[in-house]
Structure 1
């Protein structure tokens, strides 16, 4: 067979068979080139969000996870995948067989998704990469959707009449550049394949849409098999070991020699943590503390009323414990990263009840597993009027918590967190307070009021996002604020530092290095400063990437570049420790 002017190309055949029909064999259609590998039994699916396992059957529930914009608009779907479970690597054609039950007859859609490349979750934004999604819709159709990695929506979507419900057998074969779709052995049609599995890897995701019935129970996966075809090689790859080798020449080794408890940390994302070995190695060897970049935010782990899913968050905690790292948990109460239902509560008492129940459940789940909490994140206003109209500088217009309870929501949040996790240190986290001005003054006055009322606040996080040249603050100004907090008996930390460099900026990386090292040096010299953390550590996954284009343009903001090579900032941070 001549492909492309005589150039042989690898053929990838994927057959997805979803079946619960009596008498179905569950075998994919192929040439029978290999034995079936059971991907469901004797493999770890316990960390798959939205599922529960019993007797080798996975029950898939509707999570409806979505990522909203910072202004609370939009709602980009954020379906889960099994990062800590098996995935495939194939040198050629292969077959995947899946058996499902309870599909298409309860008002919702049921989906199996195969990812050629795992998506990247930035700070409140998801970059889709090539994947195939196939399922049975509520009206009994078979739908195939294909993402090509060039936008956050499917590039190809095609419906096939099927009349499927309850018991369904689906088959999708990818041969060359075409997917062939079958249902219960019947040919439904074809869909163009833009090269979803060109890299020879397959990751698995399971989804249940709630539809109009919020009480939908979901569906069950009872079989998942893989088989190589035509003599091609196929391997089942387990999740990697979380424990990473340590080095004496690292940031965390330097922090251990400070002479008092002090941690150096970073924000981490779970997707690259499990899929990028170099990212994982640096994360586990360089830092003594991690902040979950997204996994602890309400829209990720509390997507629907009464529905909590800690799968991704637990995974991050497992990584920390495997590598002797502390967890600074982020965040319990914020006006952003909220699922839409949290903004739709009926009246102040319902808002208060929602907030307290969320804190109690989440902080209680991680009791004893995390060292610190960002209890309240970014309570200060960006509106100058808030500093003169009696709001005392607190954010009011976008915060459902302030609108319902006023300043008292902060007191209640800290007290609830302390009840749920009494040994954890509790922080208030804010940006722009490194600088002099009304924002810092109002924050300082707020902390004084909280201390006077006996609120159990232990510290304040200075985010230190230096997005523009005007955000760059003299370290001595930052020092004076840390010392002011010390007089109140309050700790301080650098919580989210990054320093984006403009393309036209001369000596930008040197400036970046100076800014980071200067703030670290202050922390090392002030006894009440307990840690220094950057918001991510490599530009490969940095949240300051330009997400107005697709795929996003990477920024130059962090101590390691997109190729995971250390920059001058990393060397200067090491020097700051040595000087201390």
Structure 2
């Protein structure tokens, strides 16, 4: 299956998959004894026989990999900005490199189209609304220009930009060389050279491909080869297998299965899943449910009106299936995390856009996803929305176009797209009494009266400040009130301020105890696996400054909170 994020006829997927077979565990190492450019007999092929069927915007075929620009960008919580988020071939080949190396790429592009090849020293990681860019470089070829951009791992933007004017042919060979402390890019007579800031000092190279434009024609990566120079080496390594070893008996998932068959879950980041062996193994070992942290938010899965990108979601869903984990998909309709084109759509077109989005995304995963957050955070943060008989609904592009009925419409569409999936409304601040909880009860009561197919409510349970606290008795009362309405509850996104560690452990344990005591509490999920990739990482910081809110620290070591949960599960 071609994981290009676009809707393609199944026969086209099959043809592409046959043309470029997925190789498992294959590798090839090349080293030359002089500084001459290697020829095809000494360079390792990074394209043929390796997996290029899962690169976003790519379609693998007999002539190479056709790349169409998706225009992927990440907006901030308020909908502003638009940080570029170009694709990386997470499930495909990467290089292990040492010393001087040379990489050559064949590029075939129609007139007027751009081609972008990106080489990363590590995979970029998305921390909610911020993409951390590691050291890397991007080479762009247009009709009249060769461009080089270099990231040094110290900021979002390139540290160096160079360009050369040329008349680029439709079919060309681009060469990237690391040697003598410099990075050099060549295309025909054009040559760009800059000081190497340690782009590949990690010893790894990951590949990405994109286009500056989002036209339908795209361009084709016809070849990709790598070799060592002057004693250097380049080894082609395929992505690791998705299935991991069996969970240990003392894991959270094993203890929960023995106690009440309660799924213990975590929000999982797609980017490091196949690049960080420790993260992958820890996730599979400890958790029996996976929440798609960012990959299925609208701005990631639906970057353009006529284009969908399922690569991140497919990776997470396939990983869950390989490791006997249920999938809770997040999220279909949200006032945030929407691409700019959705935000700018006229009000009279938004219902149609929402319906197409839900039917396409839920339909893509029909039968493979157990649960969906259909509507995320519908309640307002403004006190005035709760006053004078106000319902407390958040005002955003969907509510402004359809009123409260947007919720009814979204749930009905999701039920039609996958009748077997459980459908949830998800929000924060529901763990305490007050106007927010009262508004939630009123909302779900109205939904039930109108026959809306809602199955449950997610309690995010973010405890981000020292003064935040969840009381077991109140939380259990809220679960019971939902049970009287015939609704399930789930702890959907818990993370806890980590100072002091004992207080963090107590709050994690308190919420789990309340969930175990409530027959209608269907799962307990933390908002992340480890602080290394936690969403409370401070944005725009290089190197990243992780928070201290999850069960495992930045070194993947268990905290007191993890031990507290194991004690609760052992009873």
Q: Same fold (TM over 0.5)?
A: yes
Please give the alpha-carbon distance, in whole angstroms, between the structure 1 residues aligned to 2:324 and 2:281: 14
Partner of 1:14: none
- What is the aligned counterpart of 1:198 among 198, 201, 206? 201
Please give the alpha-carbon distance, in whole angstroms, between the structure 1 residues aligned to 2:169 and 2:334: 41
Alignment: residue pair count = 537
Partner of 2:114: 109
Partner of 1:531: 523
Cα drift, residue 56 of structure 1: 4.7
Query: Structure 2: which 5+ residue stretches go unaligned?
Result: 1-31
Partner of 2:36: 30
Which deviates more from structure 2 when the two are superposed, residues 43-52 or residues 365-374? 43-52
- What is the aligned counterpart of 2:131 among 104, 126, 135? 126
CA shift in 2, pair 1:90/1:382, >3 Å = same
Please give the alpha-carbon distance, in whole angstroms, between the structure 2 residues aligned to 1:158 and 1:351: 42
The CA RMSD over aligned residues, in Å, is 1.7
3-state SS of paired residue (2:440): helix
Q: Are 1:178 and 2:182 counterparts?
A: yes
3-state SS of paired residue (2:271): helix
Partner of 1:304: 304
Please give the alpha-carbon distance, in whole angstroms, between the structure 2 residues aligned to 1:131 and 1:32: 23
CA shift in 2, pair 1:307/1:83, >3 Å = same
Matches within 5 A, 1:521-560: 521-560=513-552
Partner of 2:149: 145
Cα drift, residue 196 of structure 1: 0.2
Cα drift, residue 426 of structure 1: 0.3
Partner of 1:242: 242
3-state SS of paired residue (1:461): strand
Cα drift, residue 356 of structure 1: 0.4
3-state SS of paired residue (2:496): coil
3-state SS of paired residue (1:577): helix
Matches within 5 A, 1:159-558: 159-184=163-188, 186-210=189-213, 215-245=215-245, 246-259=247-260, 261-348=261-348, 350-396=349-395, 399-501=396-498, 505=499, 508-558=500-550
Deviations 1:36-86 (A, max 9, x none): 221111111111111011215211011011000000010000011111111
Partner of 1:40: 47
Deviations 1:216-235 (A, max 9, x none): 42111111112222343332
3-state SS of paired residue (1:153): coil
Partner of 1:17: none
Cα drift, residue 390 of structure 1: 4.9
3-state SS of paired residue (1:498): strand
Cα drift, residue 181 of structure 1: 2.9
Which deviates more from structure 2 when the two are superposed, residues 355-364 or residues 223-232? 223-232
3-state SS of paired residue (1:449): helix
Cα drift, residue 89 of structure 1: 0.3
Partner of 2:140: 135
Cα drift, residue 550 of structure 1: 2.6
Aligned partners of 1:267 and 1:291 also within 8 Å: yes
Cα drift, residue 174 of structure 1: 1.8
Aligned partners of 1:32 and 1:230 also within 8 Å: no
Which deviates more from structure 2 when the two are superposed, residues 353-362 or residues 113-122? 113-122
Aligned partners of 1:62 and 1:217 also within 8 Å: no
Please give the alpha-carbon distance, in whole angstroms, between the structure 1 residues aligned to 2:388 and 2:442: 16
Which deviates more from structure 2 when the two are superposed, residues 526-535 or residues 229-238? 229-238
Partner of 2:73: 66
Cα drift, residue 270 of structure 1: 1.0
Aligned partners of 2:100 and 2:177 also within 8 Å: no
3-state SS of paired residue (1:273): coil
Partner of 1:19: none
Please give the alpha-carbon distance, in whole angstroms, between the structure 1 residues aligned to 2:468 and 2:102: 54
CA shift in 2, pair 1:122/1:189, >3 Å = closer
Partner of 1:564: 556
Aligned partners of 1:140 and 1:165 also within 8 Å: no
Please give the alpha-carbon distance, in whole angstroms, between the structure 1 residues aligned to 2:445 and 2:179: 67
CA shift in 2, pair 1:42/1:449, >3 Å = same
Cα drift, residue 31 of structure 1: 4.7
Cα drift, residue 93 of structure 1: 2.2
Deviations 1:507-533 (A, max 9, x none): x11100000010001111110001000
Runs of 4+ displaced beyond 6 Å: none
Cα drift, residue 312 of structure 1: 1.3
Q: Are 1:156 and 2:160 counterparts?
A: yes
Aligned partners of 2:466 and 2:497 also within 8 Å: no
Q: Are 1:91 and 2:91 counterparts?
A: no
Please give the alpha-carbon distance, in whole angstroms, between the structure 1 residues aligned to 2:381 and 2:283: 33
Cα drift, residue 321 of structure 1: 0.3
CA shift in 2, pair 1:235/1:47, >3 Å = same
Cα drift, residue 164 of structure 1: 1.6
TM-score with structure 2 setting the length: 0.91
Please give the alpha-carbon distance, in whole angstroms, between the structure 1 residues aligned to 2:318 and 2:461: 28
